[in-house]
């Protein structure tokens, strides 16, 4: 399960997202695809659901989307923006 860290504040729009981590005094910006993933994770969606939705949205092979998703999640984890359990 992947969930967003509870102490963060974020603003998500169709154009992207801004994530504020007041504990670490950092701000992260995301493009529209990153914002969609962030929103889905915030709502408790499973990775497989997100990958399927992105693959359908962009008419892209789900295997390619899964690789990109895993890379993106790795970046979020490195920044301590998500919790993977």
Q: Global pTM? A: 0.92
pLDDT in the model for residue 64: 97
pLDDT in the model for residue 52: 97
Kind and range of the H or E element at 24?
A: none
pLDDT in the model for residue 85: 87
pLDDT at 9 over 90: yes
pLDDT at 8 over 90: yes
Looking at the structure of the chain, the number of domains it has is: 1
Q: What is the CATH number of the domain that holds 8?
A: 3.90.930
pLDDT in the model for residue 69: 97
For the chain, where are the E strands, in sequence order?
Answer: 2-4, 9-13, 16-21, 26-30, 82-84
**pLDDT tens digits along 29-71:** 999 999 999 999 999 999 999 999 999 999 999 999 999 999 9
Spatial separation of the C-alpha atoms in residues 18 and 30, rounded to whole Å: 6
Domain encompassing residue 15: 2-84
């Amino acid at each position: 399960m992947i969930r967003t860290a509870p102490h963060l504040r974020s603003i998500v729009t169709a154009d992207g997202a801004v994530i504020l981590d007041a504990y670490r005094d950092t701000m992260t910006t995301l493009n529209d695809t990153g914002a969609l993933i962030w929103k889905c994770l915030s709502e408790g969606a499973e990775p497989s659901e997100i990958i399927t939705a992105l693959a359908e949205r962009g008419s892209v092979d789900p295997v390619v989307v899964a690789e990109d998703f895993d890379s993106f999640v790795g970046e979020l984890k490195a920044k301590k923006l998500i919790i993977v359990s």
